[in-house]
Structure 1
């Protein structure tokens, strides 16, 4: 093996929209590449066949599924973000919670003085932590 990269499969043709939100929230966020389906499919024209984006130095892949599945994202797998400032933590939490579902509001918990967990509007789960406490 040479690498392991998280791959996010979106339903409903929102992969590009989600990547644009995510990359706008991080100073180094960028969509590296995005291949889309053409008029001859098999997915709807213009939807993401496979994309590569980067957040906080971490590479991700994404796609729009043209098949409707009986499953979606689950919070049992989340993206952990270690924030450096209170402002960064609050900004990310608020942006990701807009249209989403806060699961643990920003607060002090036994494992962290300042932490929040949110499912964003696309169903992707994010754990946001301030300070030096590592993921358990």
Structure 2
């Protein structure tokens, strides 16, 4: 796997404010922001300005941010997931299958419009994992 585990923080429409807040608190740099409206994804008008994905970095530390899609809710305490970046299709499949045992898939492992294979799983302990294998 590449890098370290990366915390992924979810918000209910205020990810931009949280991103700016943590940038100032940590003295970090915003290294990427994409809204739902900028993505090649069917998006209702009320979600166009919501953050689909943003990244904050300082040295070896990375945090990822996202707003929920309209109709989804954020539950404080369950609004943090962990992201792994496997280095092969075989590795992401193994992780996905292993984490699904006793847990549940939240998003099936599939190819995405951002050029990755991605899946989201809640394991048997309630931890949410985001698996992202970026293809060449």
Which TM-score band (shorter chain)?
0.3 to 0.5
Q: Which has the higher helix share?
A: 2
TM-score (norm 2): 0.41
Higher relative contact order (CA 8 A, sep 6+): 2
Question: Which one has a bigger Cα radius of gyration?
Answer: 1
TM-score (norm 1): 0.41
